[in-house]
Structure 1
Amino acid sequence: MTKVTSSHWGAFEVDVRDERIVATRPFAEDPHPSAIPDILPQAVHHRSRVSRPSFRRGWLESRERTGRGGDTFVELPWDEALDIAAAEIDRVRKAHGNEAIFGGSYGWGSAGRFHHAQSQVHRFLNTIGGYVSSFASYSTGCAQAIMPHVFGVPFLQLNYEHQDGWHTIAEHTETLVMFGGVNPKNSQVSMGGVTRHETAGWFETFAEKGMRCVNIGPQRTDAPDGCEWMAVRPGSDTALMLALAYVLETENLVDRDFLGRCTTGYDRFRPYLLGETDGLPKTPDWAAPLTGVAADTVRELARRMATTRTLITVAWSLQRGEHGEQPFWMSAVLAAMLGQIGLPGGGVGYGYGAIGGVGKSFKGLRGVTFSQGQNPVTKFIPVARAGDMLRRPGEAYDFNGRRDTYPDIRLIYWAGGNPFHHHQDLNALHEAWQKPETIIVNEPWWTATAKRADIVFPATTPYEREDIGRSNFDDYLFHMPQLIPPVAEARDDYQIFAGLAERLGKAQEFTEGRRAGEWLRVLYHAYQGMARDEGVEVPDYEALQEKNWVRLPIQMEGPNRTLFAPFREDPEGAPLPTPSGKIEIFSATIDGFGYDDCPGHPVWLPPSEWLGTATAAAPLHLVSPQPGDKLHSQLESALADVEGARPETIVIHPKDAARREITTGDLVRVFNARGACRARARVSDDILQGVVALPTGAWFGDPGTNVDPDGNPNVLTRDVGTSRLGQGCSAHTTLVEIARL
C-alpha cells in the first residue's frame, strides 16, 4: 500500500508492508522536498518506543521523587495505569488546587489537527479545572513580548499576515539585508506542515534578477549560495544596526517625512544615537571592534540601503539571546529611518527562512481546530522560565510590565514535546525536575523527558491514527490515513485523556459523546462550511478520504497589501493599534516599566557572555542552530543509530581548530562551568573565527554522565531570561572551550 501523508516537514509518500512502514518517497508536487522522512521507517519501529504504560519504580512503591532519570520502570495494564494516574491527578487538584498543575506541551507532536497533542492535553486539563499555562515559544518568546509594543499587533500575526510574500520581494526588492540570514535548512519545517518547499528556489530567482542579498551573521551557510557574507560577532547585531542608523542620520539619508508622519519618539532616540546622552556616538568606528565589521563596510551598506528599495529581515535566532528584544526593536527603527515601511519589497520582516510558512501569501482561510475550551486558571509563566518556576516557587519575577510569583507546581502533565531538548542548562533543569510530586508524560519514545517521568503512557505516532492535515500557512489539505496499527500497546492522546476524564467524572465534557472518527467528521464539516463562506470549495470528507489530498485555490501570487500600506498612506485614518497609533521608536509604556535591561527605546546592551567577555577558560562563542536532519529532537532515536551521525557535528574555524590540534572528524569535548558534551569536529572557514556551531536536537544523556555523549548544546547554555520585559530563551549567550578527546 502506498499513501500520501503530511508532517511538519512536508508531505511524502509512504510504503507499508505487513503492517510496517518500509519506505518513504518525496511528494511529487514538492520542488525541494525535505530528506527528513528518509529515517521515518526506522524511527516508527525503533526499539526506543514505549511499549506499555510504565511507572517509575521509586514513585510507584513510595512516591519517591529524587530518582527521576536513573530509576527503573514497571509496566502495568492500561486500566490499572489509568486508575492510578486519575487518582493522583484528583489528589493533587483537591489538596493543592489546579494552580499546582502545569500543562506542558510544545505543539509540534503532529501536523494532524485533531490529534494535536497540545490541544488534547490542554482540553483535558481545562475540563478538570484548569492548569498553569505558558506564554509563547522558545523560538519567538522574546519577540512576542516586545514587538506588539512597537507595531501594535501580535508578533506571529505580523509574521504571517503583514509581511511581504516572496512574489512581492522578487518583484520590488533591490537590496535584501538579512540579519541572521535566511536558511533553507530551517524552512524545511512549518507549524502544521509546508507542502511546497520554495525558499531555496526564490533565492535562485533573486540571483537571476540581480538582487543584492547580504547575509549578516557568524556563518556563511545561514543563507543560500550566492549571497554576500558579512561576518558579524554573535550578540552584536544591535551595535551594527545602530552604526547603520548613525550613517543615515549624519549623512542626511533619513526619511524625515516618514518619521514625522508614521512614528513617535525619534526625538527621544536621536540624542542616544548621536551620543549626546551617554557620550558614545554610535559611529561605524565605535561599532567595528564590537561587531568585527569594518567601518567603511558599514558606511557603504548604509548608503546603499538608503538609495535602493531595501528589505531588512531578522531571523528569529537573534531574539534567542540576552537582550534579544533590542535587535528586533532596533531593526524596526532602522527600517523606519529609511522610510520604506509600507512600500512593496521594502521595510522590515521577521522570520523569513525560520519556518517554511513565512513568505507565503494566502487568502485568509483558517485550518481545522479542536477546541481546547477555557482555562479557569489565569496564572501562567513565560515558556522559557519553566526551570525557574520549579526551582523557586513563590518567588516574584517581572514580565512585560507585570509582577507575579512562580506557582508551586506539584504535578506536571506533558504531552507533545521534549523539554530536555529545548530548555537551557539541562543539568540544572534535571535537578529542578526532581521537585514536583508527580510527572506524567504521553510519549511514543523513551526520550530524556519520558525517562524523567513517573508515569509514561505510550502514545501513537501520526502514522498510527487517522487525521486531517491543514495549516493556515499552506494551500494543501490532506486526509492523513492510519497507515499501520498502533505499535505495541500505544494509544492516541484522545483515548488516553478520555479514559482519565471518565475516571474523573468529566467524560462528557471532554468527549461530548464522540469517538475520534466522529470528531474528525464534525470538525471537517465545520471547516467545509467556513471554506464555503470564503468562496473556497473543498470536497466532503468521504471524497477527501478517497482523494488523499487536494490543493486549495488560495495562494496569492501578486503583491500582497500589508497592514502597513494603508497606514503609510494615511496614518491618521488607518492608525496602528499602538498607544500612539504609530510605530513606536520610543515607547512610553516600556519606559514606564522601569527596566534597566530594556529601557524606552532600543539601546546597545552587551551580553554577559559573548566574545567581548571571553576568557581563557571559555574563549569561544557557541551558537546552537536548528538541526538539518530532523525537527527539533524528533526521530533522533533512529538517527543516533546511523554510523558516524552521533555525536553531533560542531563547526569550528581553521585557526581555532589548529590552535587546539583539532582536525575534521576528531571527537572533541565541548565544555564550560555548566556542563560538557561530546561532538565531532568539522573544520570550516564558513564560520567566523572565535565562534563554534553545534545544532540542537541530540537526546540528553542519563544522570551521572559527566559528558553528554551525543552532543546536546543545552548542557552548556545559560538559563536566564532575555530581559525582564521578554523573559525569553537566551541560548545564544554562551561561551565554551573545546578540547580534543
Structure 2
Amino acid sequence: IGIGLQRHGGGGMAVRTITCIPGVTGDWKYAGGGVFYLTRGFYGVNWTALRREDLRPRQTRSLDMKRLGEVLLKADHPPVKALFVYAANPGASAPNQLKVLRGLAREDLFTVVAEHFLTDTARYADMVLPATMQIEHRDLLISYGHLYLAWNEPAVPPPGECLPATEMFRRLARAMGLDTPALYESDESMARQVLESGHPSLAGITLEELKARGWMRLNYPDPFVPFANAFPTPSGKLEFVSDRMAKSGLDPVAGYTPSHEVSQQGTALAREYPLALLTPADHFFLNSIFANVPRQRQRSGVVKLVIHPDDAVSRRIASGDEVRVANARGSFLAIAEVSDRIRPGVVASSKGRWPGFSKEGATINATVDARDSDMGCGAVYHDNRVRIEKAL
C-alpha cells in the first residue's frame, strides 16, 4: 500500500479495509496475492533491549511531535523549557507549521539541534551540533518494504567535530554524571543486543556475519507467503469483524470511516473551504530531505498547485497565475497549473519544501491541522480543506 494513504481521519480504516480484499478473493494464500503496509513487523529484533524503558525512574509524560507547536506554546505543569532535535526538521515537516515556528521562536526555550545543514529548525537553535552522515557512522538498518537487514560501516571518518547521535547522548550522560552502564554502550554492543532476540527470523544472523557480508535476508521462506497457515490474530483468521477493534472504541467491522475535513459536504467548513488539498511527494526530494540542495530545487521548479479547469474557471485562475492557498491555520503561495489530471473539488501541491526557501516563509504544512487519524495517532496531511484565490 505504501506510506501516505493512511494520512487522513479515516486512514486506518481505509488501510484495514483494503487489506481485507485478498481475504474476499482468496488471493492471500498465494505469493504476491496479498497486501502489505510495511515489513517492519517481520523483523524479530529485540526492541525492548534497544529502548530500555525499564530504566525510567518514574512515569514521564509523552508529548506528541505532530502537535509540537501546541506543545511549545501551551504545555504546562511544567512548560517545555528545553528541546533537543535530531534526525528531524519539524520547522519544515510538522503540521500547523506557523504555530511550530512561533513555538521555536520563544525566547525562554533552549533548543539544541544536531544537523548537517542549517535547516529551518536549526535557525532557531541556541546551539547547533554537527552530526555525522550515513557514510560516517555505524548503523544497523531495517526496511519499510523488504526482508533484509544491512550493516552500515563508515566509508570515511567524520569531518571536524561531527558525532553520531548515539555518541552525543553518551557524552551528555557523562556530563550529567549518570552512572547507568547501558547509557555508555557502544553502537556495536547495542546492535548485538538488538540481533540477539532469539526470534526465528534472525536465526543465523549475527553482527559479525552482517559485517562480513553487508546484508542478510531474514530467515523466512522464499517465496514468502506470511499468512498461508494462520494470521497473527486471536482467532488465527483474517478478522473482518474484530473484537480488538471494538475494545479500542473502533468499528469492529472493516468498512469506511469518514475523514475529519475532506469528507464534509454542505457544512460551514466545506462552504468556507470548498477544496480538498492533497500533498503528494515531490519527485526530487525525500520528504524534506534534499529540499535545500540547489540542483534538486531547480529540478523541482516553482511551487505548483494543480487545479481542475472547472475550479479554475470559477475563480478566474489560469495556468501560471500566482495563487494563495489558505485556511484558518495558515496559507502559502503557489503557481497554478490548470489540468484535468486532478478531479474537481480537489487540488494538489507536493510536500517537502523548506519555509526558509519559500515566499512568506510558509509551505503547504502551514495549512495542515495537528490532529490524529482514526488509528495509530498518525498525522493527517491529506485531510485538509482550503480556499484558493489569486495572490495580490
Query: TM-score normalised by the shorter chain: which range applies?
Result: 0.7 to 0.9
Q: TM-score, normalised by structure 1?
A: 0.44
Letter in 2 for 1:415: Y
2:223 maps to which residue? Answer: 559
Following TM superposition, by how much is the alpha carbon of 1:460 offset from its aligned partner in structure 2, in angstroms?
2.6
The equivalent of 1:737 in structure 2 is 387
Equivalent of residue 170 in structure 2, options 490, 498, 505 = 498
Partner of 1:672: 327
Matches within 5 A, 1:650-689: 650-689=305-344
Change (3 A) 1:692 1:426: same
1:438 corresponds to which of 101, 107, 110: 110
Deviation at 1:321, TM superposition (A): 0.7
- Trace 1:399-478 onto structure 2 (pairs within 5 A): 408-433=79-104, 434=106, 437-463=109-135, 465-468=136-139, 470-471=141-142, 473=146, 475=148, 477=150
CA contact (8 A) 2:45 2:194 kept: no
| 3-state secondary structure, aligned to 1:441 | strand
Equivalent residue, structure 2, for 1:486: 159
Matched, 1:618 2:273: yes
Matched, 1:328 2:328: no
1:640 and 1:681, CA in 2 relative to 1: closer, same or farther beyond 3 A?
farther
Counterpart of 2:169 in structure 1: which amino acid?
F
User: Structure 1: how far apart are the matches of 2:257 and 2:96?
Assistant: 23
Conserved 8 A contact 1:421-1:714: yes
**RMSD between superposed Cα atoms in Å:** 4.4
Deviation at 1:424, TM superposition (A): 1.3
1:168-209 deviation per Cα after TM superposition (whole angstroms, max 9, x unaligned): xxxxxxxxxxxxxxxxxxxxxxxxxxxxxxxxxxxxxxxxxx
Residue 672 of structure 1, CA deviation: 2.0
In the superposition, relative to structure 1, how do residues 550 and 415 fare at CA in structure 2: closer, same or farther (>3 Å)? closer
How big is each residue's C-alpha offset from its partner over 1:91-144, in whole Å with a ceiling of 9 and x where there is no partner? xxxxxxxxxxxxxxxxxxxxxxxxxxxxxxxxxxxxxxxxxxxxxxxxxxxxxx
Contact 2:274 2:386 in 1 (8 A): yes
Cα distance in 1, alignment partners of residues 346 and 134 from structure 2: 38
CA gap of 1:392–1:491, structure 2 versus 1, over 3 A, is same
- 1:498 deviates by 3.0
Amino acid corresponding to residue 378 of structure 2 in structure 1: G
Alpha-carbon distance in 2 for matches of 1:585, 1:392: 41
Describe how 1:38-437 pairs up with structure 2 within 5 A.
Answer: 314-336=1-23, 338=24, 340=26, 342-344=28-30, 348-351=34-37, 371-374=50-53, 375-376=55-56, 377=59, 379-381=61-63, 383-390=65-72, 392-393=74-75, 408-433=79-104, 434=106, 437=109
Closer, same or farther in 2 for the Cα pair 1:679/1:600, shift >3 Å?
A: same
Q: Distance in 1 between matches of 2:169 and 2:34?
A: 43
**Does the 8 Å CA contact 1:621/1:736 hold for their aligned counterparts?**
yes
What amino acid does structure 1 have at the position aligned with 2:120?
A
Q: 1:649 maps to which residue?
A: 304
1:634 is displaced (CA, Å) by: 1.4
Residue type of the alignment partner of 1:632? N
Q: 1:379 to 1:339 in 2, by over 3 A?
A: farther
Task: Note the residue ranges of structure 1 that are not aligned, 5 or more in a row.
Answer: 1-313, 395-405, 568-574
Work out whether residues 646 and 679 of structure 1, in 8 Å CA contact, stay in contact via their aligned partners in 2: no
One-letter code of the match for 2:240? I
Secondary structure of 2:282's counterpart equals: coil
Counterpart contact for 2:306–2:337, Cα < 8 Å: yes
Q: How far has the Cα of 1:714 moved from its partner?
A: 0.7
Rounded to whole Å, the distance in 2 between the matches of 1:321 and 1:436 is 34
Shift of 1:441: 2.1
Q: How many residues align?
A: 381
CA distance in 2 between partners of 1:428 and 1:693 (Å) = 23
> CA distance change for structure 1 residues 441 and 684 in 2, over 3 Å: closer, same or farther?
same
Give the counterpart letter for 1:373 in structure 2: R
**Per-residue CA distance 1:225-266 (angstroms, 9 max, x = gap):** xxxxxxxxxxxxxxxxxxxxxxxxxxxxxxxxxxxxxxxxxx
Q: 1: CA distance between counterparts of 2:88 and 2:17? A: 32
Consecutive unaligned residues of structure 2, counting only runs of 5 or more, are none
Distance 1:623 1:556, change over 3 A: same
Assess, with a 3 A threshold, how the Cα gap between structure 1 residues 462 and 717 changes in structure 2: closer, same or farther.
Answer: same
Matched residue, 1:601:
253
Question: Are the aligned partners of 1:344 and 1:559 in contact in 2 as well (CA < 8 Å)?
Answer: no
Specify the code of the residue in structure 1 equivalent to 2:134: P
Percent same amino acid among aligned pairs?
A: 23
Secondary structure at 1:736's aligned position in 2? strand
Deviation at 1:603, TM superposition (A): 5.3
Deviation at 1:438, TM superposition (A): 3.0
Equivalent-residue separation in structure 2 for 1:675 and 1:665 (angstroms)? 22
Q: Once the 2 structures are TM-superposed, how far is the Cα of residue 625 of structure 1 from its aligned partner?
A: 1.7
| Cα separation, partners in 2 of 1:660 and 1:640, compared to 1, 3 Å | farther
Give deviations 1:471-520, integer Å, cap 9, x for gaps. 35454745533436526x433334433332222113773664x7x6xx44
Secondary structure of the residue that 2:334 maps to in structure 1?
strand
Task: Spell out, residue by residue over 1:283-307, the C-alpha distance to the aligned partner (whole angstroms, 9 max, x if none).
Answer: xxxxxxxxxxxxxxxxxxxxxxxxx
TM-score, normalization by structure 2: 0.76
Q: Distance in 2 between matches of 1:326 and 1:537?
A: 38
Deviation of residue 415 (structure 1)?
1.4
Q: Deviations over 1:386-436 (max 9, x none)?
A: 445445547xxxxxxxxxxx9754433221112223321112233445497
| AA aligned opposite 2:233 | P
After superposition, the Cα gap between the structure-2 partners of 1:335 and 1:382, relative to the gap in structure 1 and judged at 3 Å, is farther
Deviations 1:429-463 (A, max 9, x none): 33445497433222222212222333332223234
